[in-house]
Chains A and B, each alone.
Chain A
Amino acid sequence: MTFIAKPRIDLPSDRLNDIGLRRRDYEGVLSTLCAGCGHDSITAAIVQAFWEMSIAPEKVAKLSGIGCSSKTPAYFISGAHGFNSVHGRMPSVATGAMAGNRDMVAIAVSGDGDSLSIGFGQFGHVVRRNLNLLYIIENNGVYGLTKGQFSASADVGSRAKKGAENRWQNIDPVATAISLGGSFVARGFSGDRDQLVPLIKAGVRHRGCAVIDVVSPCVTFNDHEGSTKSYAYTREHKHEAVKLDFVPPAEEISAQFDPGEAKAVTLHDGSRVMLRRTEDSYDPSDRSRALQYLETARSRGEVVTGLMYMNEDLPEMHDLFGTTARPLTDIPYEELSPGSEALRKLQAKMR
Chain B
Amino acid sequence: MTTERINDFVLKIGTVNGTGSASANGMLMKALFRMGIPVTGKNMFPSNIQGLPTWYEIRANRDGYMAREARVDVMVAMNAQTYAKDLAEVAPGGFFIYDSTWPRESQLERDDITVLGVPLARMCNEHFDKARVRILMKNIAYVGVLSALLGIDRAVLKQLLEETFASKPKLVDSNLEAINLGYEYATANFTCPLPVRAEPMGDNAGHILIDGNSAAALGCVYAGATVGAWYPITPSTSLMDGFERYCKMFRRTEDGQNNFCIIQAEDELAAAGMVLGANWMGARAFTPTSGPGISLMSEFIGFAYYAEIPSVFFNIQRVGPSTGMPTRTQQCDVTMCAYASHGDTRHPLLFPADPRECFEMAVNAFDLAERLQTPVFVLSDLDIGMNDWMIPELEWNDTWRPDRGKVLHSAELDEIQKFHRYLDTDGDGITARTYPGEDARGAYFVRGSGHNRYGGYTEDAAEYQDVVDRLLVKWETAKSLVPQPVLREAPEPTRLGVIAYGSSDGAVNEALDRLAESDIHLDYLRVKAFPFNDHVEAFLEAHDTVFVVEQNRDAQLRSLLLTETETGRRDLLVPLLHYNGMPIPSDCVIKAVTEFCAGKEVAA
Contact = CB atoms under 8 A, between A and B. Distances in A.
Contact of B258 (A81, A324, A335): A324
A181 interface: no
A100 B282 contact: yes
B446 A82 contact: yes
Contact of B227 (A56, A325, A328, A347): A328
A292 B253 CA distance: 45
A94 B441 CA distance: 22
B66 interface: no
A336 B284 CA distance: 11
Contacts of A270: none
B229 interface: yes
Contact of A323 (B258, B396, B439): B258
Q: Is the interface of B mostly helix, strand, loop or mixed?
A: mixed
B157 interface: no
Interface string A309-351: 0000000001001111101110101011111101110110011
A344 B300 CA distance: 38
Contact of A92 (B253, B269, B446, B447): B269
B274 A92 contact: yes
Which interface class (under 10, 10 to 19, 20 to 34, 35 or more) fits A? 35 or more
B596 interface: no
A59 interface: yes
Given A3-B456, A92-B273, A322-B258, A333 B281 contact: no
A93 B439 CA distance: 21
A93 B276 contact: yes
Contacts of A337: 221-222, 224, 398
A267 interface: no
A74 B449 CA distance: 13
Most A CB within 10 A of own CB, among B260, B441, B442: B260
A16 interface: no
Contacts of B30: 351
A104 interface: yes
Given A84-B445, A84-B448, A95-B270, A104 B457 contact: no
B282 A329 contact: yes
B195 interface: no
Given A84-B447, A93-B273, A125-B266, A104 B281 contact: yes
B229 A96 contact: yes
B410 to A, nearest CB: 10
Nearest to A5: B456
A318 B260 CA distance: 10
B438 A342 contact: no
Contact of A100 (B250, B257, B285, B394): B285
A86 B300 contact: yes
Contact of A85 (B204, B261, B265, B273): B273
B446 A101 contact: no
A225 to B, nearest CB: 35
Contacts of A325: 257
Interface in B306-357: none
Nearest to B282: A329
A336 B250 CA distance: 8
Contacts of B208: 347, 350-351
Contacts of B274: 92-93, 95-96, 99
B218 interface: yes
A53 interface: no
Interface string B244-255: 001001110100
A94 B457 contact: no
Contacts of A91: 270, 273
A58 to B, nearest CB: 4
Interface string B198-216: 0000001001111000000
Contacts of B395: 340, 343
Most B CB within 10 A of own CB, among A122, A344, A350: A350
Which interface class (under 10, 10 to 19, 20 to 34, 35 or more) fits B? 35 or more
Contact of B278 (A96, A340, A351): A96
A92 B265 contact: yes
A83 B443 contact: no
Interface string B426-447: 0000000011111111111111
A295 interface: no
A89 B277 CA distance: 11
B218 A74 contact: no
Contacts, number: 230
Contact of A347 (B270, B394, B437): B394
A58 B448 contact: no
A339 B396 contact: yes
A117 B174 CA distance: 59
B443 A57 contact: yes
A329 B227 CA distance: 10
B272 interface: yes
A78 B438 CA distance: 14
Contacts of A95: 229, 263, 270, 273-274, 277
Contacts of A322: 256-258
B491 to A, nearest CB: 34
Given A92-B274, A122-B270, A97 B281 contact: yes
B501 interface: no
B541 interface: no
Given A3-B458, A81-B443, A93-B277, A338 B266 contact: no
Interface string A86-116: 1001111111111111011000000000000
Contacts of A46: none
B259 A86 contact: no
A61 interface: yes
Contacts of A3: 456-458
B197 interface: no
A344 B394 CA distance: 8
Nearest to B311: A96
B277 A79 contact: no
A321 B283 CA distance: 17
Contacts of A63: 277
B224 A99 contact: no
Contacts of B278: 96-97, 99-100
B436 A58 contact: yes
Given A84-B447, A99-B261, A339-B396, A331 B226 contact: yes
Given A338-B222, A351-B204, A79 B227 contact: no
B224 A333 contact: yes
A335 B436 CA distance: 22
B224 A328 contact: no
Most A CB within 10 A of own CB, among B33, B258, B278: B278
Nearest to B440: A79
Contacts of B445: 73-74, 81-84
Contact of A78 (B265, B269, B443, B446): B443
A57 B437 contact: no
A325 B439 CA distance: 21
A140 B333 CA distance: 42
A51 to B, nearest CB: 14
Contacts of A94: 277
A2 B457 contact: yes
A196 B261 CA distance: 34
A80 interface: yes
Contact of A329 (B251, B437, B439): B437
Contacts of B106: none
A33 interface: no
Interface pairs A-B: 8 shortest CB-CB? A96-B277, A92-B273, A100-B283, A79-B440, A96-B274, A100-B281, A81-B436, A97-B277
Given A81-B436, A97-B277, 17 more contacts: A84-B445, A84-B448, A85-B273, A85-B446, A92-B272, A96-B278, A97-B278, A321-B258, A323-B261, A328-B226, A329-B226, A329-B437, A336-B224, A339-B398, A343-B396, A347-B394, A350-B208
25 contacts: A1-B449, A3-B457, A61-B281, A61-B437, A79-B441, A81-B445, A84-B447, A84-B449, A86-B448, A89-B270, A92-B270, A92-B274, A93-B280, A95-B263, A95-B274, A96-B281, A97-B281, A98-B277, A100-B282, A100-B285, A101-B436, A122-B273, A125-B270, A338-B221, A351-B209
